[in-house]
Amino acid sequence: MDFVPESIIEEMRGSHTLGIFMHVATDPPLHVWFGTEDIPANFDSIDDEGSVYLGGGVLNGLPTLEVLLNGSSDAVDFSLSGIDPETGRAMINSLPPVRGKQVTIGLTTLDDHFQPMSSIIPFWQGTASHTVEESLPVKSAQSPTLTLSLSVMAGSVSRSRPSRSLWSQPHQEALSAPGHPLDKFCNETARLARGVSPPWGLGY
C-alpha cells in the first residue's frame, strides 16, 4: 500500500488546493486545519474514526520542518494572526495542557467543495512545548489583534532550547564500573570539543 495514494500524487501534479492539518494529542485531542470553515476528516493511523477539524484561519507560511538529528532539536512555531483579543483569551483559557504532547502535521488535497480527497497523510511529528500570545501596538483607528503560536520541537523532546549532549569520562566511569574501571575512552572528549585531534592508542 502506497504511503501517498496515487490519486493524490496525480492531483498534486496539476493545479490543486492543499489542506494542512494539525493533530495535538492532548486530552481531549486538538484538531485544527489551516483554512476557514470546519470540516470532517480522519488522520491516517491517528484518528481513523474521524473528527471535525476546526478552521484555524490561514497559516502564515509553513515553517521549515526538520527532524531530530545528532541530539539537536529546533523549535518551530505555528502561528495564527488577526484574532480579536477576547476570542484569543477564550481560546487560551480553554486549551488543555499541551507541553510534552505529540503534534502531528498532515496534508491532503481538497476538492472543489474544499473537502479532503483522502485520509490526512501524516508527514511530520514533533512535541509541543508551549503556547505564545503576542499583541502588537496599533494606531487609534485600528482594532487590536492577537497572534497565537504553538511552539513545537522536532522529535520527542520538549525543550525551549536545542538539546546538546556531552559525554565525559566521569559519565563513562559510572557506566563501566565495576566491570571496566580502566576504560579511558572519554578522557579526550574535552580536547575534541576544542578542535584537537588527540592520538587514540591502547586503553582508549
Task: Give per-residue pLDDT as tens, 113-135.
Answer: 888 999 999 888 888 988 888 87
pLDDT at 174: 64
Query: What is the torsional sign of CA 93, 97, 99, 104?
Result: negative
Domain count across the chain: 2
The yes-or-no verdict on residue 100 having pLDDT over 60 is yes
- pLDDT (average), residues 143-171: 65
194 domain residue, yes or no:
yes
Share of the chain above pLDDT 70, in %: 67
Enclosing domain of residue 183:
166-204
> Of the spans 1-10, 92-101, 132-141, which averages the highest pLDDT?
92-101
Does residue 201 fall inside a structural domain? yes
Asked whether residue 161 is domain-assigned, the answer is no
Confidence of residue 25 (pLDDT cuts 50, 70, 90): very high
The pTM score is 0.65
Per-residue pLDDT, 87: 74
Structural domain contains residue 159: no
Same domain, 34 and 123: yes
> Residue 201 pLDDT more than 70?
no
In a domain, 130, yes or no: yes
Same domain, yes or no: 41 and 131: yes
Whether residue 160 is contained in a domain is answered as: no
CA angle (48, 78, 105) in 5-degree steps: 25
CB 35 within 8 A of CB 54: no
CA dist 47 and 30 (Å) reads 11
Say which residue, 150 or 181, is predicted with more confidence: 150
Please report whether residue 197 resides in a domain.
Answer: yes
pLDDT tens string 56-98: 776 665 666 655 544 455 678 887 777 777 777 777 777 888 8
pLDDT at 202 over 70: no
Rounded to a whole number, what is the distance in angstroms from the first to the last CA of the chain?
A: 48
**Does residue 176 or residue 10 have the better pLDDT?**
10
Same domain, 127 and 182: no
What would the grid cell of residue 184 be? Answer: 579511558
Q: Output b/e per residue, 175-190; b: 16+ Cβ within 10 A.
A: eeeeeeeebeebebee
29 and 97 part of one domain: yes
Q: Same domain for 114 and 67?
A: yes
Domain boundary among 154, 175, 193: 154
* 123 or 200: which leads in pLDDT: 123
Q: Are residues 198 and 106 in the same domain?
A: no
Q: What pLDDT is stored for residue 181 in this prediction?
A: 61
The arithmetic mean of pLDDT across residues 91-114, rounded, is 86
Query: Higher model confidence: residue 88 or residue 161?
Result: 88
Give pLDDT, residue 155. 62
pLDDT value for 71:
47
Residues 12 and 58 in one domain: yes
129 and 201 co-located in one domain: no
Question: Taking a C-beta distance cutoff of 8 angstroms, is the pair 158, 177 a contact?
Answer: no
In the block, cell 591502547 appears at 202
Judge if 130 and 172 occupy the same domain: no
146 shares its domain with 190 = no
| 142 in the same domain as 93 | yes
164: its cell numbers: 546538546
* Mean pLDDT computed over every residue of the chain: 75
